Structure 1
């Protein structure tokens, strides 16, 4: 964030606009479960009465039959929408149908998975907090129960950038 003559330099002002990252250091898998689970590493704090730009980039592997259901646990009162890019729920190959949609932050979205080939998923949007802060945390599951694991690979990440606080 640029400083101008007369600006007060504060820790909060310096941090405003600086990205925060949560990286997956190890792959995490779900097998035989369509119950949403909170991700072990993809979570970041949110301050009350703030606006954030949020980006999530995932590398996902799993059987074509299982699919991935992906959403977020958010603090009470969160507003905003995110745009979703990834394989369509009906995709069976990496060159098959593609999903582009828009949803509220807590809404779970179903993506296709392709047996033997990791796929990429990107979600971006604006998130507004109300009077309570808390955690923005990825939550996910298999969309259809399957004995073969769906895995969010290491090096997937969640990034927030507070633009108003």
Structure 2
């Protein structure tokens, strides 16, 4: 039988560190998928992309593809020569580093028709405080829930 200590430890850890394994999978364009004449700026506007999250591009592979490009190629809809194209129709791109990311469709005219996505990826860990005082990064609700786990487990 599992000891109470193990249950308490895992219970508290899961409450205090809930984002440790909570990468989000974003389906680009939601139900519309990756297509022309869609407002990807509006789609991405209220989303927070973090390192470790995943973008999923769903599209008809005979008609579209995905390229990760730089800001100039994005703005001008330039398909760089010899650039790797994602072309499976169900491409998954893990966001491995923070910063600005740009994606376009490399099929002629599609980028100009709005098939392009620009996002900013944030680091999963917030920057460390600049002062010598280090705050405990737990919210009140996390501490409260951890206390409930302890009390319930002790009564078991």
TM-score by length of 1: 0.34
TM-score by length of 2: 0.36
Between structure 1 and structure 2, the one with the greater Rg is: 2
